[in-house]
Amino acid sequence: SQQGEEDPQALSIQEGENATMNCSYKTSINNLQWYRQNSGRGLVHLILIRSNEREKHSGRLRVTLDTSKKSSSLLITASRAADTASYFCATDTGGSYIPTFGRGTSLIVHP
Amino acid sequence: DAGVIQSPRHEVTEMGQEVTLRCKPISGHDYLFWYRQTMMRGLELLIYFNNNVPIDDSGMPEDRFSAKMPNASFSTLKIQPSEPRDSAVYFCASSPTGGTNTEAFFGQGTRLTVV
C-alpha cells in the first residue's frame, strides 16, 4: 500500500482563492516532496521539505510538515487557472529514501 | 539535456501481444524508476535501477513484466503477454541520487491500452 495519501481527492475553487491539500503518511520519513502533474504530462517537482523542517516557501507555494501527526500540507495562494493540475506528495519510509507516491489531489481553478 | 524521453507516447495492442516501453534517462543520473499510474491505484513504483543494476523489483505485478537497463542511457519495460488490466500510463523517471532528498525527473509517459 502507498506510504502517503493526499486529501481531498478533488478540489474546485475560483481564481484568486487559496487552495490547500494535505498528505498523510504512515511511517516516519526522511523527506517529503510535492509534485504537480498537468493533464497528459509527467510529474514535475515543486518543493522538498526535510523531516527536521516545519515550513518552506517557494513563490506562491507554502508547505508545512508535522511529523508528530505524520502529515503535510501544500498551500497555493492566489490561485490561477494555470494551477489546474493534480498534486502528489512523495515520501520515503525512513529506512529507504526511495520516493513513493499517493493517488493525488485533483485541483481545478475556475477563471 | 532534453529531459527523460519515453517512447512510444501511445501504444494500443491486442491482448496476448508483447509490449516494449522505452526510456532514455537524463545523462549523469544514477537512478532510474519505472512507475505505473491508474485511477484506481494511483502511481505505483514497479522497479528501480542504480547504475544500471535492478535494485528492487518487488512492485512488478507479475512475471509477465520484466525490465532491463543494458546501459546508462537506455531502459526497457516489457510486458509479455499483455492483458487488458495492464492498461495504464507508464512513467519512467531518473534522478541523480535516487532518494527523496533530490527531485526526480519524469518522462511524458506511455499510455498503454490493451484491447
pLDDT for B88-98, tens place per residue? 999 999 999 88
Task: Say if residue B83's pLDDT is above 80.
Answer: yes
Q: What is the pLDDT of residues A24-35, one digit of tens each?
A: 999 889 999 999
Question: Closest Cα partner for B34 from B13, B60, B9, B16?
Answer: B60
Note the pLDDT tens digit of each residue in A4-31.
Answer: 888 999 999 999 999 999 999 998 899 9
CA–CA separation, B79 and B88 (whole Å): 12
For chain B, say whether A103 makes contact (Cβ under 8 Å): yes
Cα–Cα distance for residue pair B44/A59, rounded to 1 Å: 29
Task: Classify strands A31-37 and A85-91 as parallel, antiparallel or unpaired.
Answer: antiparallel
Which pLDDT band, with edges at 50, 70 and 90, does B1 fall under? Answer: low
Split at pLDDT 50, 70, 90, the class of B13 is very high
Give which of B40, B32, B48, B51 is closest to B95, Cα–Cα. Answer: B32
Q: Which residues touch B90 (CB under 8 Å, ≥6 apart)?
A: B6, B21, B34, B35, B36, B37, B77, B109, B110, B112
Judged by a CB distance cut-off of 8 A, whether residue A95 touches chain B is no
Sheet holding A19-25, edge to edge: A4-7, A19-25, A71-76, A61-66, A55-58
CA angle B80, B53, B1 (to 5 degrees): 90
Nearest chain B residue to A90 by CA distance is: B100
- Does A50 contact B at CB distance below 8 Å? yes
Which residues in chain A have Cβ-Cβ distances shorter than 8 Å to B35?
101
Residue B115 class from Cβ within 10 Å (0-12 exposed, 13-18 middle, 19+ buried)?
Answer: exposed
| Least trusted range by pLDDT, from A15-24, A93-102, B10-19, B51-60 | A93-102
Please tell me the distance from the alpha carbon of residue A35 to that of residue B41, in angstroms, as a whole number.
17
- What is the four-CA torsion angle of B97, B42, A41, A105, rounded to 10 degrees? -100
| B16 contacts B115 by C-beta, under 8 angstroms | no
pLDDT digit string, tens, across residues B21-75? 999 999 999 999 999 999 888 999 999 999 999 999 999 988 999 999 999 999 9
| % of chain A with per-residue pLDDT over 70 | 97
Residue to mutate among B100, B103, B108, B111, with most A CBs inside 10 A, is B100
How far apart (Å, rounded) are the C-alpha atoms in residues B49 and B59?
13
Where does the pLDDT of residue A98 fall: very low under 50, low under 70, confident under 90, or very high at 90 and above?
confident
DSSP string, A95-111: S----EE---EEEEEE-
The reported pLDDT for the residue numbered B99 is: 84
B21 touches chain A (CB under 8 A): no
Helix, strand, coil share (%) of chain B residues, nearest 5 = 5, 55, 45
- Residue type (1 letter), A63: V
